Amino acid sequence: MYFNINYARPGYLTFATHALDGPAGRCAPTQNPCTAYNYGWNAAADAVDRGDAAGADPAMWWLDVETVNYWADPPDRALNARVIQAALDLLRSRGLSSGIYSINEMWSRIAGTQYRPGVPVWYAETNPASGYPSAPHYCDPAYGFTGGTVWLVQWTDTVDHDYACRISAPPPQPAPSPGICLPRPLPLCVLTPAPPPSPRPHLP
């Protein structure tokens, strides 16, 4: 299952409900590290709650990180990275596996090349002229923009298709320990984390 993630600006309908209050605390109503973290966490929580309500039980949650969505301007890439990290932290706190759907160029423009959370990659686009034959090329570590392994590669003709890279799935990251603050510019304390999920096999 995947969901779109973006950065919220003041004026968004969900800015007050998703950005001003959350694990980073009560925030000033501007784009800042506090609202960025709260928004990413609360947006991910909203997506997971909707999935649960629909009876979904996915093996993997993918964050769709694309330039067509709203993000802070390039000088503030750290705010965008903070939104993404907060969403990953929410998923991890609930014992859910997660990865990022994007491409090198969009990731660099949105989050910057220095932000590498180490989660799996679903590479979103190959050479349209080459189609399926080009897909295995993008399993190369050079396209693991998160610092993690490329699991899936999307290629397109009249519809989207996906190629599964021939890898073994790494074990899921453990949930934070009770009472331990994750190292963030604004500390986040997760008091009641869910247990990590059982490893699931990755089919080639």
Task: Give me the pLDDT at residue 133, please.
Answer: 80
Strands 150-156 and 98-102: unpaired
Q: Does residue 135 lie within any of the structural domains?
A: yes
Q: Does residue 157 lie within any of the structural domains?
A: yes
CATH code (residue 149) = 3.20.20
First-to-last CA distance in the chain?
Answer: 18
Q: Does residue 201 lie within any of the structural domains?
A: no
Q: Does residue 203 lie within any of the structural domains?
A: no
Task: Give me the pLDDT at residue 188, please.
Answer: 41
Task: Give me the pLDDT at residue 53, please.
Answer: 96
- Which pTM value belongs to this model? 0.79
Contact 110, 77 (CB under 8 A): yes
Q: Does residue 199 lie within any of the structural domains?
A: no
Q: Compute the distance between CA of residue 119 and CA of residue 148 in angstroms, rounded to an integer.
A: 5
181's CB contacts (< 8 A; 6+ apart) are 187, 188, 189
Q: Does residue 163 lie within any of the structural domains?
A: yes
Q: Does residue 106 lie within any of the structural domains?
A: yes
Question: Per-residue pLDDT for the chain (204 aa), expressed as one digit of tens each?
Answer: 999 999 988 888 888 889 999 999 999 998 899 999 999 999 999 999 999 999 999 999 999 999 999 998 878 899 999 999 999 999 999 999 999 999 999 999 999 999 999 999 999 977 766 777 888 999 999 999 999 999 999 988 888 899 999 865 555 555 554 444 444 444 443 333 444 444 444 444
Q: How many domains does the chain have?
A: 1
CA atoms within 13 A on the CB side of 99: 25
Domain that holds residue 160: 2-190
Task: Give me the pLDDT at residue 184, please.
Answer: 44
Task: Find how far residue 24's CA is from the centre of its chain.
Answer: 18
Q: Does residue 197 lie within any of the structural domains?
A: no
In the block, residue with structure tokens 């491409």 = 103
Q: Compute the distance between CA of residue 111 and CA of residue 64 in angstroms, rounded to an integer.
A: 13
